[in-house]
Amino acid sequence: MKLRRLTRKRATDEVYESLREAILTRYFRPGERLQVDEIADKLGVSLTPVRHAVQQLANEGLIEIKPRSGTFVATLSIEDIEATFEVRIALECLAAEKAIERIKPNELARIEDLIEALSQPVTNEESLRKHEKANSELHQLLIDAAGNKRLAEIYNGLNAHLTIARIHAAERNESRNTEFGKRFEIEQAEHEEIVAALRARDVARMQSALRAHIARAKSTLMNAWQQQG
């Protein structure tokens, strides 16, 4: 009995991981209908772990289960995006207070590496993906450096939504390629200011830098969203 339960649990975890990845990498598009039986078939598992994984992703907000209609990759409204960014600002400003007190030398070194990576030019989809990954890791590091598990959990839940929002915006805004250069120059200056404030252990300065950075990211995303929406 014990062995069977463990096996089933692992299958659910594996299905969960691969579905989550498929959504966040746009293999499944926002609004796309998900066929549980097809997914089970493709992954070579039974329906049960797929149903469990789908439920888990629904709790996280990545999947919407509509009664009598089906299971869909979540879509977001402009209000959802705005609300998510407001909470993100609050969480990152809270994290900043703690991170300034607790940050370790190796974390600071990793942050320096990420700032360096973020200074590399973004010219195509591949470099954009790398850039966004480094950007997320930088913010994640600041959250982790705060050493508050609950805060990190809430932040991770938000992140899934923000990733979905970015996917939507990217699909709606094909002209963004022409804006690559300028946008990243501003972003880099903002990141450098955040890290300079952290190094100077200046809470107020770091919070105002974070607020400005996240608010700008929010309006960029919302503009992209509205342009084609």
Q: Which residues of the chain form contacts with Zn ion (CB under 5 A)?
A: 135
Considering the complex, state which of residue 135 and residue 159 has its C-beta at the smaller distance from Zn ion. 135
Residue nearest Zn ion (C-beta atom): 135
Would you state the structure tokens that stand for residue 168, as one six-digit string? 């939507």
State how far the alpha carbon of 145 is from the alpha carbons of 140, 158, 224, in Å: 8, 18, 31
- The CB-of-214 to Zn ion minimum distance in angstroms stands at 8
Between 55 and 135, CB nearer to Zn ion: 135
Which of 63, 194 has the CB closer to Zn ion? 194
The whole-angstrom separation of Cα 20 and Cα 161 is 12
* 18 or 135: CB nearest Zn ion: 135
Question: What residues have CB less than 8 Å from 6, skipping those under 6 apart?
Answer: none
Q: Which residues contact 171 (CB under 8 A, 6 or more apart)?
A: 29, 30
- Minimum separation from the CB atom of position 157 to Zn ion (A): 18
Write down the least CB distance from residue 176 to Zn ion, Å: 16
Note whether 86 and 66 are within 8 A (CB).
Answer: no
Contact 115, 192 (CB under 8 A): yes
65/196 with CB nearer Zn ion: 196
- The radius of gyration computed from the CA coordinates of the chain, to the nearest angstrom, equals 19
> Quick count: other Cβ atoms within 10 Å of Cβ 156?
12
**CB 73 within 8 Å of CB 54:** no
73 membership: H or E segment, kind and range: strand 70-73
Q: Give the nearest distance from C-beta 63 to Zn ion in angstroms.
A: 27
Give the integer Cα–Cα distance in Å for 223 and 188: 20
Q: Which is nearer to Zn ion, 74 or 217 (CB)?
A: 217
- Please state the closest distance from residue 190 (CB atom) to Zn ion, in A: 7
User: How near is the Cβ of 6 to Zn ion at its closest, in Å?
Assistant: 40
Residue with token string 């609300």: 83
Query: Measured from the CB of residue 194, what is the shortest distance to Zn ion in angstroms?
Result: 8
Closer CB to Zn ion, residue 135 or residue 163? 135
